[in-house]
Amino acid sequence: MSLRSLDHDALPQRLASSRRSRWSRRLFVRIGGVTLVTIAILAGSAGWWLPAIGGLLALPGRPAPADAIVVLGGGFPLRDQHAIDLYREGYAREIWRTGEMPGGSLIVQKARRLAIDQGVPDSAFVPLITDSTWTDGREIARMARERKVERVLIVTDWPHSRRAMCVINRHLAGTGVVAIYDGPRNPPYTPANWWRDPEGRYIVPGELLKTLYYLLRFGVAPWAC
Protein backbone atom coordinates (compact mmCIF):
# COMPACT_ATOMS: atom_id res chain seq x y z
CA MET A 1 0.00 0.00 0.00
CA SER A 2 1.40 3.42 -0.96
CA LEU A 3 2.04 6.29 1.48
CA ARG A 4 -0.51 8.33 -0.40
CA SER A 5 -3.11 5.64 0.24
CA LEU A 6 -2.27 5.60 3.97
CA ASP A 7 -2.60 9.38 4.19
CA HIS A 8 -5.92 9.19 2.37
CA ASP A 9 -7.24 6.57 4.82
CA ALA A 10 -6.10 8.57 7.89
CA LEU A 11 -7.66 11.82 6.70
CA PRO A 12 -11.25 11.08 7.93
CA GLN A 13 -9.88 10.11 11.35
CA ARG A 14 -7.92 13.37 11.63
CA LEU A 15 -10.98 15.36 10.58
CA ALA A 16 -13.18 13.58 13.12
CA SER A 17 -10.59 14.12 15.85
CA SER A 18 -10.37 17.81 14.96
CA ARG A 19 -14.16 18.19 15.08
CA ARG A 20 -14.29 16.49 18.50
CA SER A 21 -11.56 18.77 19.78
CA ARG A 22 -13.36 21.90 18.56
CA TRP A 23 -16.66 20.66 20.05
CA SER A 24 -14.96 19.96 23.39
CA ARG A 25 -13.44 23.45 23.45
CA ARG A 26 -16.79 25.07 22.66
CA LEU A 27 -18.50 22.97 25.37
CA PHE A 28 -15.84 23.94 27.91
CA VAL A 29 -16.21 27.62 27.04
CA ARG A 30 -20.01 27.42 27.33
CA ILE A 31 -19.89 25.62 30.68
CA GLY A 32 -17.34 28.11 31.95
CA GLY A 33 -19.47 31.00 30.79
CA VAL A 34 -22.60 29.62 32.44
CA THR A 35 -20.65 29.00 35.65
CA LEU A 36 -19.28 32.54 35.73
CA VAL A 37 -22.70 34.03 35.06
CA THR A 38 -24.24 31.85 37.81
CA ILE A 39 -21.55 32.90 40.28
CA ALA A 40 -22.08 36.54 39.36
CA ILE A 41 -25.85 36.26 39.82
CA LEU A 42 -25.48 34.50 43.18
CA ALA A 43 -22.91 37.03 44.36
CA GLY A 44 -25.04 39.95 43.21
CA SER A 45 -28.15 38.61 44.93
CA ALA A 46 -26.46 37.28 48.08
CA GLY A 47 -27.97 40.07 50.12
CA TRP A 48 -31.37 38.51 49.39
CA TRP A 49 -30.97 34.75 49.39
CA LEU A 50 -28.54 34.37 52.30
CA PRO A 51 -30.92 36.09 54.76
CA ALA A 52 -33.77 34.11 53.16
CA ILE A 53 -32.03 30.87 54.15
CA GLY A 54 -31.76 32.15 57.72
CA GLY A 55 -35.42 33.11 57.67
CA LEU A 56 -36.39 29.65 56.43
CA LEU A 57 -34.75 27.99 59.42
CA ALA A 58 -35.63 30.49 62.14
CA LEU A 59 -38.83 30.81 64.12
CA PRO A 60 -39.61 33.92 66.18
CA GLY A 61 -39.04 33.42 69.88
CA ARG A 62 -41.99 34.22 72.15
CA PRO A 63 -41.48 33.13 75.76
CA ALA A 64 -44.63 32.43 77.74
CA PRO A 65 -45.41 30.76 81.06
CA ALA A 66 -45.23 26.97 80.92
CA ASP A 67 -45.06 23.91 83.13
CA ALA A 68 -41.49 23.12 82.10
CA ILE A 69 -38.62 24.73 80.22
CA VAL A 70 -37.01 22.20 77.88
CA VAL A 71 -33.40 22.73 76.76
CA LEU A 72 -32.59 20.72 73.66
CA GLY A 73 -29.24 18.88 73.61
CA GLY A 74 -26.11 20.68 72.44
CA GLY A 75 -25.61 24.41 72.46
CA PHE A 76 -23.99 24.56 75.90
CA PRO A 77 -23.84 27.02 77.61
CA LEU A 78 -25.97 29.53 75.65
CA ARG A 79 -29.15 27.44 75.61
CA ASP A 80 -28.74 26.40 79.23
CA GLN A 81 -28.08 29.92 80.45
CA HIS A 82 -31.17 31.19 78.68
CA ALA A 83 -33.25 28.42 80.26
CA ILE A 84 -31.89 29.34 83.69
CA ASP A 85 -32.74 33.00 83.06
CA LEU A 86 -36.28 32.01 82.07
CA TYR A 87 -36.58 29.83 85.18
CA ARG A 88 -35.43 32.68 87.43
CA GLU A 89 -37.90 35.02 85.70
CA GLY A 90 -40.70 32.66 86.71
CA TYR A 91 -41.64 31.13 83.36
CA ALA A 92 -41.65 27.56 84.73
CA ARG A 93 -40.78 25.51 87.81
CA GLU A 94 -38.70 22.82 86.09
CA ILE A 95 -35.95 22.57 83.52
CA TRP A 96 -35.85 19.45 81.38
CA ARG A 97 -32.56 18.86 79.60
CA THR A 98 -32.30 16.51 76.59
CA GLY A 99 -29.08 14.85 75.46
CA GLU A 100 -28.53 12.67 78.52
CA MET A 101 -26.98 9.25 77.86
CA PRO A 102 -27.41 5.97 79.76
CA GLY A 103 -23.85 6.24 81.08
CA GLY A 104 -24.10 9.95 81.73
CA SER A 105 -23.32 12.97 79.58
CA LEU A 106 -20.57 15.46 80.40
CA ILE A 107 -22.54 18.31 78.82
CA VAL A 108 -25.66 17.49 80.82
CA GLN A 109 -23.56 17.31 83.99
CA LYS A 110 -22.16 20.77 83.21
CA ALA A 111 -25.65 22.06 82.49
CA ARG A 112 -26.89 20.72 85.84
CA ARG A 113 -24.01 22.33 87.72
CA LEU A 114 -24.57 25.65 85.94
CA ALA A 115 -28.25 25.57 86.91
CA ILE A 116 -27.64 24.59 90.54
CA ASP A 117 -24.95 27.26 90.94
CA GLN A 118 -27.57 29.85 89.92
CA GLY A 119 -30.24 28.74 92.33
CA VAL A 120 -32.13 26.02 90.43
CA PRO A 121 -32.92 23.16 92.85
CA ASP A 122 -31.43 19.83 91.87
CA SER A 123 -34.93 18.30 91.96
CA ALA A 124 -36.08 20.85 89.34
CA PHE A 125 -33.43 19.77 86.82
CA VAL A 126 -34.71 16.76 84.87
CA PRO A 127 -32.42 15.07 82.28
CA LEU A 128 -33.99 13.20 79.35
CA ILE A 129 -32.13 10.41 77.56
CA THR A 130 -32.06 11.31 73.86
CA ASP A 131 -29.59 11.21 70.98
CA SER A 132 -31.28 13.24 68.22
CA THR A 133 -33.94 15.84 67.59
CA TRP A 134 -36.35 13.04 66.75
CA THR A 135 -35.83 11.31 70.10
CA ASP A 136 -35.99 14.74 71.79
CA GLY A 137 -39.55 15.07 70.51
CA ARG A 138 -40.47 11.54 71.52
CA GLU A 139 -39.13 11.91 75.07
CA ILE A 140 -40.65 15.35 75.56
CA ALA A 141 -44.05 13.94 74.61
CA ARG A 142 -43.57 10.96 76.93
CA MET A 143 -42.56 13.16 79.86
CA ALA A 144 -45.42 15.57 79.19
CA ARG A 145 -47.91 12.69 79.38
CA GLU A 146 -46.22 11.25 82.46
CA ARG A 147 -46.25 14.56 84.37
CA LYS A 148 -49.57 15.70 82.92
CA VAL A 149 -48.20 19.06 81.82
CA GLU A 150 -50.08 21.37 79.46
CA ARG A 151 -47.35 23.69 78.14
CA VAL A 152 -43.63 23.29 77.49
CA LEU A 153 -41.25 26.12 76.65
CA ILE A 154 -38.60 24.87 74.21
CA VAL A 155 -35.14 26.46 74.22
CA THR A 156 -32.76 25.93 71.31
CA ASP A 157 -30.72 28.02 68.87
CA TRP A 158 -32.54 29.72 66.00
CA PRO A 159 -31.03 27.61 63.15
CA HIS A 160 -32.44 24.53 64.89
CA SER A 161 -35.76 26.08 65.88
CA ARG A 162 -38.01 25.25 62.92
CA ARG A 163 -36.92 21.63 62.55
CA ALA A 164 -37.05 21.11 66.31
CA MET A 165 -40.54 22.57 66.69
CA CYS A 166 -41.82 20.62 63.69
CA VAL A 167 -40.58 17.39 65.25
CA ILE A 168 -41.85 18.19 68.75
CA ASN A 169 -45.28 19.19 67.49
CA ARG A 170 -45.42 15.96 65.46
CA HIS A 171 -44.90 13.95 68.66
CA LEU A 172 -47.28 16.12 70.68
CA ALA A 173 -50.09 15.89 68.11
CA GLY A 174 -53.31 14.79 69.74
CA THR A 175 -52.01 15.19 73.30
CA GLY A 176 -53.33 18.70 73.91
CA VAL A 177 -49.86 19.80 75.06
CA VAL A 178 -48.74 23.17 73.67
CA ALA A 179 -45.08 23.75 72.75
CA ILE A 180 -43.69 27.30 72.75
CA TYR A 181 -40.29 28.30 71.39
CA ASP A 182 -37.74 30.82 72.59
CA GLY A 183 -34.05 31.14 71.73
CA PRO A 184 -31.03 32.53 73.57
CA ARG A 185 -30.86 36.30 73.71
CA ASN A 186 -28.09 38.08 71.77
CA PRO A 187 -26.91 35.07 69.72
CA PRO A 188 -23.45 35.35 68.10
CA TYR A 189 -25.07 35.48 64.64
CA THR A 190 -28.58 36.03 63.34
CA PRO A 191 -30.66 35.01 60.30
CA ALA A 192 -29.64 38.33 58.74
CA ASN A 193 -25.85 37.87 59.04
CA TRP A 194 -25.08 34.20 59.74
CA TRP A 195 -22.68 33.83 56.76
CA ARG A 196 -20.32 36.41 58.30
CA ASP A 197 -19.63 34.19 61.32
CA PRO A 198 -17.44 31.04 61.03
CA GLU A 199 -19.79 29.06 63.26
CA GLY A 200 -22.79 30.27 61.28
CA ARG A 201 -21.18 29.18 58.01
CA TYR A 202 -20.81 25.71 59.54
CA ILE A 203 -24.11 25.38 61.43
CA VAL A 204 -26.60 26.80 58.93
CA PRO A 205 -25.67 24.66 55.87
CA GLY A 206 -25.59 21.60 58.14
CA GLU A 207 -29.05 22.43 59.44
CA LEU A 208 -30.33 22.74 55.87
CA LEU A 209 -29.08 19.22 55.16
CA LYS A 210 -30.68 17.91 58.36
CA THR A 211 -33.96 19.60 57.45
CA LEU A 212 -33.89 17.84 54.07
CA TYR A 213 -33.06 14.52 55.77
CA TYR A 214 -35.97 14.87 58.20
CA LEU A 215 -38.28 15.66 55.31
CA LEU A 216 -37.22 12.51 53.45
CA ARG A 217 -36.83 10.24 56.50
CA PHE A 218 -39.77 11.29 58.68
CA GLY A 219 -41.93 13.41 56.39
CA VAL A 220 -41.39 16.49 58.57
CA ALA A 221 -42.04 19.40 56.19
CA PRO A 222 -40.54 22.72 57.39
CA TRP A 223 -43.16 24.77 55.50
CA ALA A 224 -45.95 23.06 57.47
CA CYS A 225 -44.72 24.21 60.89
> In this model, does residue 218 exceed pLDDT 50?
yes
> How far is CA 174 from each of CA 55, 122, 125, 163, 220, rounded to the nearest angstrom?
28, 32, 27, 19, 16
Reported confidence tier of residue 105, pLDDT bands at 50, 70, 90: very high
Output the pTM of the full model: 0.81
**Domain topology for 59-184+192-224:** Rossmann fold (3.40.50)
Reported confidence tier of residue 140, pLDDT bands at 50, 70, 90: very high
Reported confidence tier of residue 26, pLDDT bands at 50, 70, 90: low
